Structure 1
């Protein structure tokens, strides 16, 4: 029996809209990494001194930061569960192609990280995806239980250590700053050549892709994928019209708890403990809320029609994600337009919005002639041989 990816007629509009929506959130967050020496900034909230920058950074901290990688992780798990169920229905071999796809995705991610930008997330998704594939045979409730237990225990242990160490009373402005590393990054990206940027990128990658990052991703990113896979096995998005109350509860709880948790370091004390709650509890809760709100809105046909450009962007999300890195490195690095360190937070947001709108237009034009994004088509050929 032939195993193939989801075709254009079988796509779920809500999932594509969510992917397209995620592209904007991811770009807004990644902008800091494009124009600032992010791997060497101990705490971004203490980096800015101008009132306007602080306000914009706080708004991004609450509504965007740490919410879109969990959202995309859940979508990743949901999509993989759809493929698993489809293979099961057709009698195809899911385990023949799924690991191969993760290996290819890992290679693409590492090439992206080494040659374009150090902040790649694709390789991490592929790494966690291998473990997700191994667990995919389990029933949906067990996927959800494993996700909650693994993620819950991990954060419970760390928060207990934070509490014992007084981290809920220690402010983040006590962090030391590596001035030498920051200056080196500014020189390499801001005034250096392509080779200078390449050398600095390898240094930044040693921080971004440290052994601790790979291990911690199994306790953070993988559980989000498992949650998405559980939702996918229950087909909660496809059957949203029959589960409106469930999605409404998720929307209220996700948005409410998420915004409250993410506001703690801003409305309250800016301590290590509150920032941990903001990132690792508030972030994924708000992501779940966003998924629920978009799912509810897309039950209205005119909303789906209005958001059609966003859905098209979601259909070529990997292509547009890599394109964002290419465009931004050209804009900010010295071998391009040299804007590294020369824009404020507000301008960074406007640049991100402008890039995103251009990508929506490009996706609309592209799908008037083609059925898949270029990288998506290449992935399909390499994975399925067609």
Structure 2
């Protein structure tokens, strides 16, 4: 089908009083982008993490402390927050389609197909730990459940989390080991690091080699991401993020439960071997949603303050173009760490890697502010929207809607 920029523009109405609340959602999404980058950048900086072993070149107490901190506070929490917002945003799309009297099914299927293609390209060319393909596949389940009641969505979400936790617990009690041969894993980590230091062909070959292992990882992360989708769907149906004051009691409860239980589970996860240990992984998986919920509740309450509104203004542009920024993070990390660019893989200490992540994020905040002041969508969002709507949407912010 040929796209035409002369097609009638789609008018998306805003509900009264929701513009600032939508900015809060964008700001939350921007925070999730930072957390995802902090977790993912280690896999660009070294080939060892994909094999569930630490890089022996960086085994000092300080290096280990950085790894523990990331696993304690961010690992398994970052992508859950992002997945929650995916489910929440789905309800906004449902509402928009209902107001305009259009069928969301074919449009959302096209969107998911576009996400899947982007995810495959991302996994092969930039980062094999891609989440877009997972979101695209799980999005079909979310679409099929678009008419379920809030209570049903919450119950299914809880059952999914409990089921995957039960399966992992069984595996742990049966003595299953994720790293059966540490020496072989170290050797594989060295080979992967050398592959990252190579050129584009070496990088792509390494990514393709790792894809089967990533499929296994997604068997655990997938159900948990779907659970977060459904929690986000329930929150969107209840307008949780558009009425922070009215839901303050619920948000406070999320903090009172989420911080003590979530942090306790995170301590067991981080100091018990992280994703390399099934017992720690099981406990971390069951408690990570609570800690992610506590983070979100705290941020939403903070965004209601005067200082919080200023922070929202800084963060929201990055959240509005989160897909472009997610892919951009991978591209920048490839240019910094692999042989395609500076080739720093394996030679940068974890503390410096963390500082590089903060620098990349700062650059993205600045670039997003400049871009969104001029355009209505991020560049990748615009292309995905064009494919979804089968027309060329107007890009410049000054253009009339």
Give me the TM-score of the superposition, normalised by structure 2. 0.87
Change (3 A) 1:264 1:180: closer
Change (3 A) 1:93 1:194: same
Return the offset for 1:158.
Answer: 2.4
Counterpart CA distance in 2 for 1:379 and 1:133 is 18
Change (3 A) 1:44 1:252: farther
Counterpart CA distance in 1 for 2:164 and 2:66 is 31
Return the offset for 1:97.
Answer: 0.8
Counterpart CA distance in 2 for 1:229 and 1:66 is 20
Give the unaligned 5+ runs of structure 1: none
Residue in structure 2 matching 1:201, options 188, 196, 207: 207
Counterpart CA distance in 2 for 1:300 and 1:284 is 25
Residue in structure 2 matching 1:157, options 156, 167, 176: 167
Give the unaligned 5+ runs of structure 2: 1-7, 394-401
- Name 2:117's counterpart in structure 1: 107
Count of residue pairs the alignment pairs up: 380
8 A contact 1:40–1:178 mirrored in 2: no
Counterpart CA distance in 1 for 2:65 and 2:192 is 25
- Name 1:314's counterpart in structure 2: 319
Change (3 A) 1:265 1:241: closer
Change (3 A) 1:207 1:156: closer
- Name 1:222's counterpart in structure 2: 226
Return the offset for 1:58.
Answer: 0.9
- Name 1:372's counterpart in structure 2: 377
Q: C-alpha offsets along residues 46-83 of structure 1, whole Å, 9 cap, x if unaligned?
A: 98520100111111111111110111010000000121
Alignment of 1:1-386 (within 5 A): 10=19, 12-38=22-48, 40-44=50-54, 48-163=58-173, 165=174, 175=182, 177-190=184-197, 192-208=198-214, 210=215, 212-213=216-217, 215-265=219-269, 272-384=277-389, 385=391, 386=393
* More deviation, 178-187/3-12: 3-12
* More deviation, 71-80/263-272: 263-272
Calculate the aligned-residue CA RMSD, in Å: 2.7
Change (3 A) 1:339 1:46: closer
Give me the TM-score of the superposition, normalised by structure 1. 0.90
Q: C-alpha offsets along residues 283-321 of structure 1, whole Å, 9 cap, x if unaligned?
A: 222111111111111222441223312111101111111
Return the offset for 1:186.
Answer: 2.0
* More deviation, 268-277/323-332: 268-277
8 A contact 2:53–2:186 mirrored in 1: no
SS of match in other structure, 2:40: helix
Change (3 A) 1:84 1:28: same
Counterpart CA distance in 2 for 1:102 and 1:68 is 21
